[in-house]
Amino acid sequence: MFFVVRRMKHVVKIMSLVVAVSSIWIVLLQAAIIPRSYTLLQLPIYFVVSLGCYGLLMIGIGLMQFPTCPEESVLLQHDIAEAKDYLSGNGIEVVSD
């Protein structure tokens, strides 16, 4: 299931989150757990908080799965060495720690 969720577009994820929060809110209203006077006042707040939590979750997952690219690291080191050679050939001294 996680594989299927990863492939969904962000719009679909956000819409499913909105539907989930709305359905939970309706169930709580129908069960009389939440007074009806709070319905219009707190629902937008829950939407904003839910979207914020979703955004933080996506950032956290993205940071945990940040790809490492050893091939790109080798190419970058090669480019740095090439740039140092070019600069030293033009009389600019490059000092690295």
Q: Break the chain into its structural domains and give their ranges.
A: 2-66, 68-97
Using alpha carbons, list the distances in angstroms from residue 4 to 13, 17, 59, 75, 85. 11, 16, 19, 34, 48
Q: What is the pLDDT of residue 78?
A: 93
Q: Are 50 and 43 a contacting pair, CB within 8 Å?
A: no
Supply the pLDDT for residue 92. Answer: 83
Quickly list H helices, 31-90: 39-64, 70-89
Say how far residue 70 (Cα) sits from the centre of its chain. 23
What is the chain's pLDDT, residue by residue, as a tens digit (97 residues)?
A: 454 555 567 777 777 877 887 787 777 767 766 666 666 567 777 778 877 888 888 888 878 877 777 888 888 899 999 999 898 888 888 777 5
Q: Tell me how far apart the alpha carbons of residues 71 and 89 are, in angstroms, rounded to a whole number.
A: 27
pLDDT of residue 79: 93
pLDDT of the residue at 1: 45
Distances (CA, A) of 67 to 63, 74, 91: 9, 15, 38
Instruction: Mark 76-87 as b/e (b = at least 16 C-beta within 10 Å).
Output: eeeeeeeeeeee
